[in-house]
Chain A
């Protein structure tokens, strides 16, 4: 019997996957969660064999969720979007990709893939802190961003988080958030290396603004940010641990 959990913010979607699982003798649903954080907490205390995981969820995407797991079990993605199929292939743990609405015949194929899946031996990921060339401290303490044809000054010390949002980045400061047409890589180059660190492929944080770190996530201001497995060692190195 394979123990599985379902992670999806839609109740209807969880109910559908649970119903499909009930048609398979080898699957036992031991938990269902409307968000990634609850699932992470559950996984820290329980072992599961399979996760049915929605990609589109508020706060954490399905990929953020996988990145935050030390040893992800087999994952079947469930989504209404066919566009993530290529990204899904980058993850060894992803067994299949179900496009909603899912029906039993297609679900059974996914189960076959789960049963025949042989996990790839884990390779040691290279930590990806802000690179030397980009992390060299600069004398600048602020940057200017183009907002509606105005160049707005943002002090580095006020920034607590930068999040990648497709072709845009969301710069979060203590007073205001700014959506800017740019990339995480570009702002990495602009930020001083001393207090900023890329903790996930979608997030750069200001280490000075961390409130606490729990397992695979960071609380910074009101945001909970995932930490990638590969970025965690660099983060720990940069913290003033007692």
Chain B
């Protein structure tokens, strides 16, 4: 499975360590909240809102350098708009891995 990494954050920060730490702190703060909202909408089968949540989560996925996972999220977002749950398991596994990663930081 693709692993979260700092490739994007490093390229963006250009060696600015203070910025890098600040951005990581924000991701650690925002990501669990965004995931909770997504899970809540999935629970009540509000797939249109969940698609919006996935859309928002795509940015966090890309911030954590997950290029292949980003493409999967794009497809899952489209599936949700059609009320299809195809790729849900794979997407949820990505979220789980991201949470595990940020909890080690």
Residues of A within 8 A of B (CB): 10-13, 15-16, 19-20, 23, 56, 80-81, 100-101, 103-104, 165-166, 168
Contacts and interface: CB of A to CB of B under 8 A. Distances in A.
B17 to A, nearest CB: 13
Interface in B42-92: 48, 52, 55-56, 58-60, 62-63, 81
Contacts of A81: 55
B48 A16 contact: no
A10 B12 contact: no
Contacts of A101: 8, 12, 59, 62-63
A226 to B, nearest CB: 18
A219 to B, nearest CB: 23
User: Which of B26, B59, B62 has the largest count of A CB atoms less than 10 A from its CB?
Assistant: B59
Interface of B: 8, 11-14, 16, 19, 22-23, 26-27, 29-30, 48, 52, 55-56, 58-60, 62-63, 81
Contacts of B48: 165, 168
B12 A103 contact: yes
A11 B30 CA distance: 8
Contacts of B27: 12
A165 B19 CA distance: 38
Nearest to A101: B62
B30 A10 contact: yes
Q: Is the interface of B mostly helix, strand, loop or mixed?
A: helix
A80 B71 CA distance: 11
A56 B52 contact: yes
Contacts of B52: 56
Given A10-B30, A15-B22, A16-B63, 17 more contacts: A11-B30, A12-B59, A12-B60, A15-B23, A15-B26, A19-B13, A19-B19, A23-B14, A80-B55, A80-B59, A100-B58, A100-B62, A101-B8, A101-B62, A103-B8, A104-B12, A166-B81
Nearest to A23: B14
User: Which of A16, A56, A100, A103 has the largest count of B CB atoms less than 10 A from its CB?
Assistant: A16
A16 B23 contact: yes
Given A10-B59, A80-B55, A100-B59, A16 B12 contact: yes
A162 to B, nearest CB: 17
B26 A11 contact: yes
Contacts of B60: 12
Contacts of A166: 81
A20 B48 CA distance: 32
24 contacts: A10-B30, A10-B59, A11-B26, A11-B29, A12-B26, A12-B60, A12-B63, A13-B59, A16-B23, A19-B12, A19-B13, A19-B19, A56-B55, A80-B58, A80-B62, A100-B58, A100-B62, A101-B8, A101-B12, A101-B63, A103-B11, A103-B12, A104-B12, A168-B48
